[in-house]
Amino acid sequence: MKFSTFVAFICALVVHLLLLLLLVVNVSLDKPQRPQDAGVKIMHATVITPPAKGKETGSAQNIKKPQETVKKNTDDSKRKAQEEALKKRVEAQKKAEEQRVLALKKKQEEQKKLEEKKRKEAEAKAKAEAEAKAKAEAEAKAKAEAEAKAKAKAEAEAKKKAQEEKERLEKEAKEKAEAEAKRLEQEAMEAQKKLEAQQEAALLEQELLGTADGVEGGEGLGSGADGIVAEYGAKVQTLVEQNWRIDPSMNGKKVVVTLEVDAQGLISNEKCQGDKAVCDSALATLRLIGMLPMPPKDCPDCNNIVITMTPKL
């Protein structure tokens, strides 16, 4: 762009110089015209010239006429005026061209500055957009990682909780099954003991009563009612002691147990006096047995039994 402007300036300058040269040549080649009388005053002057050198009697040579001198002066003035006007016009054109070139150069510089400004603004905008995009991507990535981490943690906690709940349920089911099995086993043992007690009670009943309810007149199990009560009480005590479970802490601690037996042998209103632990164990044994041999029909006192029990290991 700078090279084209410079070439244009040189071309314009050459054209103006050529025009100036043509004008000068035209002025020189134009034939002098006789000035018109109208509006033009002709100055009549007398030119005094020194005598020509040579013979005194000789005539002067090459003496110009006054009209020719005036005409020549007028042509010279006109030519000089034209030259001055042309020179001024050329200078004005040159100055205008210089101003145009300067204005064009200034405009180009302003355009260049504007383009540079736009370029920098575009670069700054692109950089800001790239930074914003990178920041958004980084934030999105960090958010995704945090969400994934939180999700993994939640899944791990849920899995752990589910495993713990499963283990708890399995443990409860196992404990419940064991407790149920233990309960069934205990019930079976208690039923077996009750059956054995009933069988022993039946045997005891046969021993006490024989083929009948005793021999009239006190024969067989002892003489009189007291003997029957004592024998029946001893058999009940033996039956209780056979089913009684004691521990070393009960050793030697005497208790007195009282109970009632109906005609069918069912135990009721059982009581105990003495050490609490020993009493609780004795009463639990009576409840486990549940039923004693039927007391003799001819022994009303056999319905109330009082036995003294002392655990021994």
Q: How many whole angstroms separate alpha carbon 93 and alpha carbon 101?
A: 12
Do the Cβ atoms of 244 and 282 come closer than 8 Å? yes
**Nearest alpha-carbon partner for 303 in 195, 224, 215, 225:** 225
Strand partners, 255: 274, 309
Longest dimension (CA), the chain: 237
Do the Cβ atoms of 232 and 194 come closer than 8 Å? no
* Packed helices 66-209 and 276-289: angle between N→C axes, nearest 10 degrees: 80
Would you state the structure tokens that stand for residue 13, as one six-digit string?
A: 């300058």
pLDDT of residue 304: 87
Would you state the structure tokens that stand for residue 118, as one six-digit string?
A: 């736009």
pLDDT of residue 245: 84
Do the Cβ atoms of 80 and 88 come closer than 8 Å? no
pLDDT of residue 226: 65
User: H/E/C letters for each residue in 192-206?
Assistant: HHHHHHHHHHHHHHH
pLDDT of residue 74: 82
pLDDT in tens, 181-219: 887 777 777 766 666 665 655 555 544 443 333 323 333
pLDDT of residue 274: 92
List of the chain residues with pLDDT < 70: 1-4, 24-68, 70, 191-226
pLDDT of residue 146: 93
Q: pTM score, two decimals?
A: 0.32
pLDDT of residue 189: 74
